[in-house]
Chains A and B, each alone.
Chain A
Amino acid sequence: MKHIVRILSFFAKEINSVRRQPLLLGGLILGPFLILSMFGVGYTGERPTLRTALVVPPGQKDSELVQNLRENMGATFQVSDEHIYEDQAPAMTALRQNQVDIVEVFPPDMTDVYTTGKQINIDITYNEIDPLLRDWIEYLSYTQINELNKELLRIFVGQTQERVGTLKEYLNQSREQLQSVRNRIDSGDREQARATVQQLREGTTLQLLALAMVPDVSSENSDSASNLQRIKQLLDDVDRDLAEGGALDQQEQRLSEIDQQLAAMQAVADRVRTLDPLVIVSPLRSKTHNIVPISSFSNNPGIAYVQFYTPAVVALLLQHMMVTLAALSLIRERMLGTLEMFRVAPISAEQVLTGKYLGYTLFGLLIMLALMPLLVFGLGIPFPLNQLGNFIVIVLLLTTASLGWGFVISALVRSDSQAVQFSMLLLLMSVFFSGFFIPLKSFIPSIRTFAKILPVTHGLQSLQQLLLLNQAPTTATYLWLLGIALVSFVLSWYMFRRQFQRR
């Protein structure tokens, strides 16, 4: 009984100490709520917009080409009239003076790509120190040029389709002429038949020349060219036979083959003409499916971000709160001199630590009890009631694991300012390595392993799972948190016991 009374002495003392600090309590409950609310209201969730300066070929500033370019650059690249230049120098000055974020230089030969047969460089220059924004600029520039390339290609494909239209006319005429050849052969008018065959050959040669001028943008085109070659060859054979007086049945066979070739080409021409140029330019497109049930997320990007980050903020807050309280706890006992009183009193290091664990754990639970309704009803964070048990266990484990590291810090440091510094370092480490902002998979395996000793790494993952996906945390999560709690307790107990020991 006395054992319990002694442990509870610290429990009551810690609770009394903390409840005397209304500012701290208010800050712990209202602080995260207000910060998350501000984030939700203020965050647009959009990609960064880049103030863009365009350097266009001389005389093109007000051209249709530049207007089309501006339209096709997308909303990410904001180009104002004052930042369209025909000379690169003033654009670079604007970049250096931070009036624009990037400068894009379009060279004079940008429209001649298909005639020159060479790739044209679009120089993009930016002035940015932030690596995240640098990556964004690189990526957005890449997608912008991709889009421009697609647009150019789409226009070109449209032009090609128009040329396919002339091929179709040729095919119709050719089939009519072929029928005339057949009729004349049947009537024995070989000379007239030869003259028509020669007309057909000339037409075929012209179409072959036309196709040769069109870049090989589709397989349909190359099929047409080989068909025409074959037709030309067959026409040569018919012409030669007519001149040499060859057998009629053989010519009829050739004429039938020519007709079949023309019919096949006609079918291809029909298909090519009716194809959407966009399909030819981008025959594949992605359609993504997320198997994670995120239907409970808001459509408002700001709120959706708040919903995603809230469990992480709660986990980080809980860890930081517990680490700081525990880190200050033992060092304050040492600085106040109470340790001397404890050494004389019938109390052990284990009882002191256990009492403090109990007090702070209850405090953490009470804070969660006050904070969660605010988040659920104030910010619309989902809270599946069937996960209440798992939620309490995770909060308890996260609390005790965090307290453990806090007590380890407290046993290591020599002043309360050092305790605060170490707590802040742990917070900084948690922000970077727990997956709070940067996904864990972005780190090398050794850092990912290191991140696992931080309680918040498991806390934020499991709270996200619990609250957002209505999924119970994995057994590994429980074991990791339990392991951290046990190891840190043993470590802090060992170090505190050495300090507590009579000398």
Chain B
Amino acid sequence: MSPTAPATAPSVIGLEHVTKQFGATTAIADVSLDVRRGEIFGVVGPSGCGKTSTIRVITGVYVPTEGQVRVLGRDPQHFRASDREKIGYMPQLFVLYPHLTVLENLRFVASLYGLPWKGRRRRLHEVLDFVELTDARHTLANNISGGMQRRLQLAAALIHRPVLLIVDEPTAGIDPVLRGRFWEQFKRLKDAGHTLLVTTQYVSEVAYCDRVAVMREGGVLMIDTPEGLRRQAIGGEVISLRVDAEDTWNAMQLLKRHPLVRDVRRMRNQPMGSLEVYVSDAGAAMPELIQALSTDPTIDMRHAEEYSPPFDDVFITLMQQAERAEAKRHAAEQGVAA
């Protein structure tokens, strides 16, 4: 992972309490976030949670019902052509022309963004190389695979060298290998100085982002780094320990009594002796716990390491926490009403 953009980096996208309604339907509600220059900002959430609506507000396609939006220092409703030229947009679906070749589609988008004819050829080849579509450049877009169409769409978003790249679910419906390549390309773009706003349904992809906004039912639950999210979900950090199977009970009793330990659980689907130990700071707690276990002669410790639970688990936990909080609030409101 490349270094995270410092908190002091200038804001490229800023949303403050933005709400978008279509009649009685609320697409997004009270969304606030800021994307800093040079970072990959992820927006994750289940289908229909408001990710695409948020992007459309940012790109100026939707006019917000309430709140303030600033993109590249300007309200998207007052974008000039020169502002739009700084933005690259990759929509969720393939929206180029199936009866044009890969190269013709790219030429079309290049002209759309006013790329001068002089020097365009080199840029086209650069972008085709970047998305690995050089060999398919004379193939009709209709005749290339779904993954290649997504790469062509990415190339179209990059052709005019945008400062800000907004990508809506780029990896939806494609195989894991290709998904990995997409994120490699995003990382290279970030390294080249681009700012990326990427939405995804795949929770595991959060790990590739510098910061992530978790969305649910049109609102932002939290914004944090991937690690920060994990901590918020599990209430700290996790140390994975393995002891002899017959020592499991003794080890758990000892650890539960230790002041640095919040909780101890047996790891699911793992052999006896595999334990998850929840602490506030794994780095500080691990030596202390190893010391404590080694002083007990009845316990034979085999292995200890800091453990990162998968983001799928993190995400499920966060959603469950949100649901519980909402249920509690709902109950409280009903109690007040009664």
Contacts and interface: CB of A to CB of B under 8 A. Distances in A.
Interface of A: 1-3, 5-6, 8-9, 12-13, 16-17, 20-21, 336-338, 340-347, 502-503
With most chain B CB atoms within 10 A of its CB, the pick from A13, A336, A340, A345 is: A345
Contact of B59 (A9, A17, A343, A347): A343
B62 A6 contact: no
Contacts of B97: 13, 17, 336, 338
B85 A341 contact: no
B61 A344 contact: yes
A385 to B, nearest CB: 37
Interface stretch (B8-16, B38-46, B109-117, B169-177): B109-117
Which of B63, B77, B112, B116 counts the most chain A CB atoms within 10 A? B112
10 contacts: A6-B112, A17-B100, A341-B95, A342-B112, A346-B83, A346-B84, A346-B113, A502-B60, A502-B76, A503-B61
A9 B91 contact: no
Contacts of B61: 340, 343-344, 502-503
A36 B156 CA distance: 46
Nearest to A6: B114
Nearest to B87: A344
Nearest to A340: B91
B258 to A, nearest CB: 55
B95 A20 contact: no
Contact of B112 (A20, A336, A345): A345
B81 to A, nearest CB: 4
A347 B156 CA distance: 15
B108 interface: yes
Contacts of A342: 112
A101 to B, nearest CB: 52
Given A13-B97, A338-B95, A503-B61, A344 B117 contact: no
Given A5-B111, A341-B109, 17 more contacts: A2-B81, A5-B115, A9-B109, A9-B111, A13-B108, A17-B100, A338-B96, A340-B61, A343-B61, A344-B61, A344-B87, A345-B113, A346-B83, A346-B112, A346-B113, A347-B112, A502-B77
Interface of B: 59-63, 76-77, 81-85, 87, 89, 91, 93-97, 99-100, 104, 107-117, 140, 156
Nearest to B105: A13
B81 A344 contact: no
Contacts of A20: 99-100, 140
Contact of A340 (B82, B95, B110): B95
Contacts of A344: 59-61, 84, 87, 89
B77 A2 contact: no
A178 to B, nearest CB: 107
B100 A16 contact: yes
Contacts of B89: 341, 344-345
Contact of A5 (B62, B77, B84, B117): B117
A502 B76 CA distance: 10
A6 B81 CA distance: 11
A503 B87 CA distance: 19
B114 A5 contact: yes
Nearest to B62: A503
A2 B114 contact: yes
Contacts of B76: 502
Most buried by B among A340, A343, A503: A340
A337 B95 contact: yes
B91 A337 contact: yes
B84 A345 contact: yes
A340 B60 CA distance: 11
Contacts of A13: 97, 100, 104, 108
B36 to A, nearest CB: 21
Nearest to B58: A344
Nearest to B104: A16
Nearest to B100: A16
A344 to B, nearest CB: 4
Nearest 10 Cβ contacts at the A-B interface: A9-B111, A2-B114, A346-B81, A337-B95, A346-B84, A344-B89, A344-B59, A13-B108, A343-B61, A9-B112
Contacts of B82: 346
B95 A8 contact: no
A22 to B, nearest CB: 12
Contacts of A9: 107-112
Q: Which of B59, B62, B97, B156 has the most CB of A within 10 A?
A: B97
Contacts of A17: 97, 99-100
Contacts of B91: 337, 340-341
Contacts of A346: 81-85, 112-114
Which of B63, B87, B110, B111 has its CB near the most chain A CB atoms (within 10 A)?
B111
A1 B84 contact: no
A343 B87 CA distance: 12
B60 A343 contact: yes
Contact of A503 (B63, B93, B96, B109): B63
Contacts of B140: 20
Nearest to B20: A503
Contacts of B112: 6, 9, 341-342, 345-347
A342 B256 CA distance: 60
Contacts of B100: 13, 16-17, 20
